Structure 1
């Protein structure tokens, strides 16, 4: 059914949106009425383009006790995300053509939002045997990643970059030198305080320095996942000034938390890469503001309560983020007056679309898919894991009061989430 969303604010102005056959037919204060259309009165609400998250873990198949495509995509919709890209570290790993076809079909069947699929760079995520990148891209791989594992051999990374350049693909890279990481679980400063093994930021920045030289040699498109350190921000800035085809993302937990806030051996503060120093966090914010870092991605990593029980020494890495990302970004950047809403939304819509070359994500323009979200900017609410649609409840942000409440999310013009 065609729809007209009236009395809605867009970029600070009262406006209306006409939706026809799943696409936006018009946006503006003077859009024409549509006979027989469903009228949605959005008085007091703001319309945004559907948010895009290029880094999520949905765990299906193989790990459905943690999350399913249905529960993960429900979490995405509740957080205002209409397009997400899922990482390949499910069981079996998405590292072969048949598995990618099956995964894409599963995403389409069970996803409440648009669930794109990233395929592995190497077989099993940890080997040096390259996957068939050209064939995987032709089938529909949105990008390639071994997320959760750094590529240890420089020759393997060079071969991957050379191959991905040939097909104009994109590598989205988890940076971690295993020797330097040395089994660490938290930043070394937190480790000293809590009696836990430290994971140095050099594990990230040294692999990045290596890869920048390989990108310089190949000119392949390269995306840095979950940047966590000042050294990495500096390296990315230099690479961009040199004109290299590098983009980067940062996750909300690295923007809004640091190692000094880890006051106890609390598994909800364990993620990879770990929370770094206040100086690192400030460098990440500065890098986002000056464009060194292109976008924000949640790294939504749901786990069972048992997975996150006990000590950080041996529990699982990762926290959930799809249902908290927008509100945290709104609270810390927009409500604080640091940036305007349009800038914040660009980090969560325009920039990821551009970096990953996404073709089917709406940007709230006439002719685009009607992927959009209605938010309440005034209401304060408290982050409560009991309200999450995700199976994962693992978050360090529980109890925080925030603004930016998602009220309704539309995908192709159909409501996939409505706040009760």
Structure 2
């Protein structure tokens, strides 16, 4: 795909200002917005008529490919492009450089845009995105992509096909994502997630396709589906989003305000949910070990991982979550070292092979205890945990 920036020049008859007098800020802005689109700059060259007889090598200003998402200093790149123009077309040995505001052509590869999408790309570049302005998406109050991904570090989320993805690390422009095929992580551009958020905020739904969400559409769709009010629907799959009403937000204390999603690991607004599970008391019993703690030392833990709960399950707060102490029970359950069987009894992985110590003692202490959170209504969530998280593997015992 080619993008052409016309040259700056003299003032035409009747014009108030010289032609394209904002050449430099326009180029800077274009490069910035192309970076937000995760574009790859294949090359930049002078495209004016006067030098059209020169070879492409003689007209080239910047050689690629250059991944703009990895360019921290856009102004430096802009300077490379403009300063190199002054020598193009000059005779050998010329002492004075020529115009550095020439007509230029940027050859680009932009994810999600094909050869027939030039008009759409032009429209998208013309309108400032949430990433460009540095402001959060205003429609529905959705978080920015980086904040949402930061909140998901270490949380397993499921694609519409049920495949697990885990965010390992969030960098300046990329996120490292663990999958079954790539346990060490694959790089995904944060801009793909931001564009998905923008489209979801604008339209209320977005198709989970490469054309709509880019080459990592499955992962992006899974991230979008973690938002409160978002869910997978239809075939082919879409992520649909309904902004919770005031009553729904009050009912769904799990989420609090939407902007809090990025601050609470997209799991729970802890203070409110703890209070709800404790029925307003200032202290409560850990559902697993049975010990009494002040609420500060209890975590509102999801029995079934929140990321793959349906919207209805997320709102079933009294049954999908339980209070687990921060003295080990929460981590042991989350990591699959303990679970609860269909009779409400805590089961643990075998600790017999471990030397004497706190870890082994903790497992032995929990084994066979009754779980205070188990009921007919919560059993389906515990069943999910038994089958998907606790399922024993030789490498973990």
TM-score after normalising by structure 1: 0.25
Higher helix share: 2
The one of the two structures with greater contact order (alpha-carbon pairs below 8 A, sep at least 6) is 1
Larger radius of gyration: 2
